[in-house]
Chain A
Amino acid sequence: MESTAREELLRLDKLSVDYPVRGGWLSAVSELSLTLFKGEIYALVGESGCGKSTVAYAVTRLLPGSERVDGGIYFEGDDLTKLSASKMEKVRGRRIGMIFQNPLDSLNPVYTAGRQISEAIALDGVSRLDARDRAVRLLRDVRMPDAEKRSRSFPHELSGGMRQRVMIAMMLSREPDLLIADEPTTALDVSIEAQILSILLDQKESRGASVLLITHNFGVVAETADRIGVMYAGELVEEGGAEDVFDRPAHPYTRLLMRALPRSSKKAGRLETIEGAVPRFTDRPRGCRFRNRCPGAMDVCAVLAPEYKTVNDGHRYRCHLERTGEA
């Protein structure tokens, strides 16, 4: 593991996000602390509705505006929660790039692909002509077939995978130190998915960019991530190096997630599922948030929220249960 003096890039310090709902606040993210180092891919994994996207939107400050945010988001020394709107505009794109889940509606329908990318490049004062050339080069970098011709296509003339490439090219164009990819491959098929992930890997290897990869798909994580954080109901329940979490999952939720993976079922047969759905909490509940779905729930789980337990350097989980070998 690359544990020697890693430089910190992004640190979330007890980040909580609550959305207003009738009669109180819905706790979407609760006291989440995590650190992202330079040049690593950190995967945030969890089911739908567990708050992973909210984390991404909180970091880029793209939340709707009615929410309540507590805690700190430190990015290269700045607390992003305290930056002015105009300073935040300079952080977005230039220092933090964001790739969205839905490439279908995420491009401006009235501009060609090349124009959208050069628009992004021109934000750094590059002349339009140079920007056009670079846009085509970027499209080649993201392996757009027939880049020159496609740069003159409008979004509706491109396929989903091509649109996601344009989106990624836009975000790469300003070479941000941190790329946040919010389920970048969810709307795409498997072969395109692999290519998109390898583009992200490229970014890490060629220029040391960090990636915060948000996904519900453990399969995506396996191939790309250096470290994994598992989220459940707004909390980080387990975190560690990719191999540690994969080979020795400690939290019962992580284990259940692994078993629900199609390829991990050793015996042929039906896929395993986790019963129920992620509960939603208004106000912050006592006790463990996973207890109603946990196969090993105990009395203590209802009254006391578990503390983090450390398995080894960097691998920690949050449960009352002691680790009981492989699940």
Chain B
Amino acid sequence: MSDTPAGLFLSRSLKNVNFMIGFIILLSIVLTAVFAPSIAPFNYDEPHKADRFTAPNSTYWFGTDDFGRDQFSRVVYGARITLQVAIVGTLIQVLLGVTVGLLCGFYGGAIDRILMYLTDVTWCVPGTVLALAVVTVLGKSLMNSIIAISLVNWAGYARVVRAKTMSLKNMPFIETAVAFGERRPIIMLRYILPNMVPALIVLISMNLPGTILSTATLSFLGLGSQPPSPDWGLAISQGMTYVTRCVWLGVFPGLALVYTVVGVNLLGEGLRDLLDPNIG
């Protein structure tokens, strides 16, 4: 078992504390999101008129809000939104960034100059400001805020993928592929791309916390998820209104967010040690 690459990787990951803690945290979030209906005692938008602003107790573990909605259930359902942000956001960023990076690194020349110019411009505009502009144009919704954040964050992927492509394209095995007659697009997709998967995984795990936090920020500012969504960012901003009387309204969604980001960060740290000693 341990002499195969997969077995070796497994035994090394089990020894990596960062990776294991991060992995367990992330797993707990994924499971929470998937089984939210069974975990949450109430539906996230079910009001309990008699129990408004209840402090945490045995029925309402995280208390209730101004509509008497169970905060624990809302935090649990919020995991689904965070997961959605993570998956969709990363997908858009990777798709954009990898495409641009591959094209730039592989073909060079005019393609490289034009696309890199675009990347650099995106890179140097403050992220949140650009995202605000995009949301303003597209309209306020969770999906639009994910798109906005992704349109800001893809540039990081493009740069790393470009650099990686440039170094891989000069490897002797690429020369071999050319010598036995592979076409250039095939070389890009079947020879260069698979060889940067480890670096990509590390890059994704390091970018993920930023994506989650930025999207939560937009929701906090009222530009992302709209009520009655159980979005954590939105919940924190709503909790702010009552922060002096009902501190639990903001604290629990905030803790959930911190838990997630710490988990993903640890996972990223661990993956970097495991997969790619050359990056960062």
Residues of A within 8 A of B (CB): 60, 62, 86, 89-94, 97-98, 100, 102, 105-111, 119-120, 123, 154, 167, 170-171, 173-174
Contacts and interface: CB of A to CB of B under 8 A. Distances in A.
A153 B265 CA distance: 34
Contacts of A106: 172-173, 175-176
B173 A89 contact: no
Given A100-B172, A106-B173, A110-B194, A92 B180 contact: yes
B181 A93 contact: yes
B181 A108 contact: no
Contact of A154 (B5, B173, B183, B190): B5
Contact of B195 (A60, A86, A110): A110
A108 B182 contact: no
A150 to B, nearest CB: 15
Nearest to A170: B180
A91 B182 CA distance: 11
A107 to B, nearest CB: 5
Interface string B149-191: 0000000000000000000000111011111111100000011
Contacts of A167: 176
A109 B197 CA distance: 12
Contact of A100 (B175, B183, B195, B197): B175
Interface residues of B, number: 18
Nearest to B175: A62
Given A100-B172, A105-B173, A154-B5, A62 B178 contact: yes
Interface in B25-41: none
Contacts of B5: 154
Nearest to A99: B179
Contacts of B191: 108
A90 B176 contact: no
Nearest to B171: A105
B181 A109 contact: no
A172 B17 CA distance: 48
* A-B CB proximity, top 10 nearest: A93-B181, A93-B180, A98-B179, A105-B172, A92-B181, A106-B172, A110-B194, A108-B173, A106-B176, A120-B180
Interface in B194-213: 194-195, 197
A97 B181 CA distance: 9
A89 B183 contact: yes
B179 A107 contact: no
A163 to B, nearest CB: 11
A97 B180 contact: yes
Contacts, number: 65
Contacts of B190: 119
B175 A108 contact: no
5 contacts: A89-B183, A105-B172, A106-B173, A108-B195, A111-B194
A111 B178 CA distance: 16
A67 to B, nearest CB: 16
Contact of A107 (B173, B181, B182, B197): B173
A25 B182 CA distance: 31
B121 to A, nearest CB: 29
Contacts of B195: 108-110
Contact of A123 (B172, B181, B194, B197): B181
Nearest to A180: B179
A120 B194 CA distance: 17
Contacts of B183: 86, 89
Nearest to B183: A89
A199 B204 CA distance: 46
A102 B181 contact: no
A170 B181 contact: no
Given A100-B172, A108-B194, A154-B5, 16 more contacts: A60-B179, A89-B183, A92-B180, A92-B181, A100-B176, A100-B179, A105-B172, A106-B175, A107-B176, A108-B191, A109-B173, A110-B197, A119-B190, A170-B176, A170-B180, A174-B180
A17 B172 CA distance: 22
A94 B178 CA distance: 11
A143 to B, nearest CB: 20
Contacts of B171: 105
Contacts of B179: 60, 62, 92-93, 97-98, 100, 171
A201 B61 CA distance: 80
Contacts of A123: 180-182
